[in-house]
Structure 1
């Protein structure tokens, strides 16, 4: 039986983890941003350590965006999406799954009308150690939902069936609550830990920090217009406790002198607040604080 051909766009932590797991069941091509990373992976393979241990030598590693595969997972950060969207717009119809933090990319997906589009979140804990190695810090799921009505679920159902035991890919019906829930968590944890230079757990163990967490949560909640306030606040606190010893991705980016994803996370919330004629002083303060810290890196 012919194996499904899948392309993974992006050689970051999520892209490497996806390639490692999906390659066991499908013909996977990993598209890296640089030829240097492609060469390293061709020579040394991909290594996964942590809660999962894997070592594999994927056959197809490319830095040139050919994208011949029938399914594409887009795992790059949002500030690298522009050129990729230009290439995807030229392709014939296929299934494309976007796995980004934040939601600012949502407005750009209308360009890709010919494709079956899905958006999703990654619940795994994963850190990129070097160009070909990731640390799997926590098992989780990939959860996706259709971006357009009447999408064909058959290909995603095939992926889900094959990977269900070790690397679950789950399907939900509505994309907005799925992405908004993840955004809410990222919008609170990332900027506060990055500004205060603390690990996630200190947001709940330090009473003064937790007071600010609650105020910021309330402010963002009002902009995202979600339901079940108490349930989602408890979920946020649980994430802080579960990842207590972790550093947020935004804090790590600042430590390493990298651009953060503050535009796609808090920037999206600021744009929604403007369209709703609402003031969000805490979000505004945090956005400009992180942008200022980026410039000092």
Structure 2
């Protein structure tokens, strides 16, 4: 397939390396000219399970993008950049080209469907990835990309779907449920690790954090209409990623805007619509908003 990846962050670089290795023509579109120049001159590298993978995708800065030949565009931007992307895509990307969104949180597909005429696909990434530089990424945890959308769109992804053991891409007809479960994990893990500046595993090891996690979990499952036994799933993810730094903590440490509004913010809005109280989610949301504001003045 002819695939363009929007975003040169950890997931964008990781996806580019593996899809290129699987035989797809891959182009990365970066936010900055600097990163585009570095990728053009050095290519990409990915450390994975003791191996060093190399890849030489095509690359363009967003300001130089010329699209129209793609079979698929994969959007790996942070939630905080989605509004900008929608404006950009409306002007730059021909509407017949399908867009696959790979973001944490929820609400972005509804926003995109009200703004764009493109076929839209949702995706969930369960890989762990850490960006080391403009051209290097470390694969910190094996997972998969789960995609879904309107049934008729599956045909357009036939060449993308694969059971490759290192980078599987699978179709799930219940993608909304998959996204809800990922949001549940993000809601428990990301705010707590970002606020207390700890790795994921501390949520289960620290009594105070585990208690808070349970309270946030109980509110989130009610809002998302999920079952209480989803705690086993959340706990398993935390154990598997115990040494990892959550994306929200990484953003805080880098003094970047976090994806809080698409995670706890989304749950608070949905809770209000359903008349469900989210006392603990609201409290940690406000605390992190205060921290973000303070960090922005440092």
- Please tell me whether the aligned partners of residues 141 and 170 of structure 1 are also in contact (alpha carbons under 8 angstroms): yes
Match of 2:16 in 1: 19
8 Å contact 2:148–2:154 — kept in the other structure? no
Query: Using the alignment, how far apart are the partners of 1:81 and 1:167 within structure 2?
Result: 25
Contact 1:159–1:169, Cα closer than 8 Å, also in 2: yes
Other-structure match for 2:156: 155
- Alignment partner, residue 272 of structure 1: 270
Aligned-residue offset at 1:295? 1.4
Partner of 1:74: 75
Among candidates 97, 102, 119, match of residue 99 of structure 1: 102
Q: Which residue of 1 aligns with 2:258?
A: 260
Q: 1:246 aligns with which of 240, 244, 247?
A: 244
Matched, 1:57 2:51: no
C-alpha deviation, 1:281, in angstroms: 1.0
Q: What residue number does 2:120 align with? A: 117
Q: CA deviation at 1:152?
A: 2.5
Partner of 2:169: 169
**Partner residue, 2:135:** 132
Q: Specify every segment of 5 or more residues in structure 1 that has no aligned partner in the other structure, as ranges.
A: none
Secondary structure of 1:279's match?
coil
The CA distance in 2 between the partners of 1:56 and 1:113, in whole Å, is: 32
SS of 1:166's partner is coil
8 Å Cα contact 1:125-1:140 kept in structure 2? yes
Secondary structure in 2 matching 1:184:
helix
Partner of 1:85: 86
The CA RMSD over aligned residues, in Å, is: 1.6
Aligned residues: 289
Counterparts of 1:73 and 1:185 in 2: how far apart (Å)? 23
Question: Contact 1:30–1:61 at 8 Å: present in 2 too?
Answer: yes
Distance 1:89 1:151 in 2: 23
Match of 1:222 in 2: 222
Q: Would you say the 8 A contact 1:104–1:265 is kept in 2? A: no
Q: Secondary structure at the match of 2:181?
A: helix
User: Following superposition, which runs of at least 4 residues in structure 1 exceed 6 angstroms of deviation?
Assistant: none
